[in-house]
Amino acid sequence: MILYHGSNMVVNRPEIRKPSRPLDFGEGFYTTFSKDQACIWSSRVFERREFGAPILNMYEYDRDKAFEELQIKVFDEPDEEWLSFIVSNRMMESYHDFDIVEGPVANDTVYSVLIGFENGVFTMTEAIARLKPEKLADQVLFHTPKSLSYLRFIESEEVLS
């Protein structure tokens, strides 16, 4: 199975890094099953960091073996558990012990719903109802050094606009 990582550089040896801001699933190495999504992320990272180039990194992911040997959490859709998990990570209130987490990305539209939920504007039920119709990109977080051993760098390419 192929996973993609958008960056401003070639990442042939993924690492677990502390983020500069709170992220959906916490700290780790973020990838996606979507090549298009990774290309978008590479452009955003390049623009934010202002050096390098937008780079699409590709990896072979031994998902079957990972599911046999690691602790993996999969969120199939935005639901109450997913929303609570993301809010907790974004507020840096918890630490999870999953090796890998898969699930929808809280994009800009979702982020406004999250803010509304965090501030009490929406109940959990209202927030979920607002998120259900959204077509959300996916993300796969490799949270532990052990989890990274299930990724094998294939190649990278510059993303052309």
Question: Facing residues of 2 across strands?
Answer: 60
Is the model's pLDDT at 94 over the cut of 70? no
Instruction: Give mean pLDDT, residues 89-107.
Output: 83
Six token digits for residue 50: 């202002």
User: What's the chain's average pLDDT?
Assistant: 88
Six token digits for residue 42: 């590479």
Six token digits for residue 57: 């990194």
Q: 104 versus 3: which is more confidently predicted?
A: 3
Could you read off the pLDDT of 46-78 as tens digits, one per residue? Answer: 998 889 999 999 999 999 999 999 999 999 988
CA Rg, the chain, in Å?
16
CA distance 47 to 54: 8
DSSP assigned state of 159? P
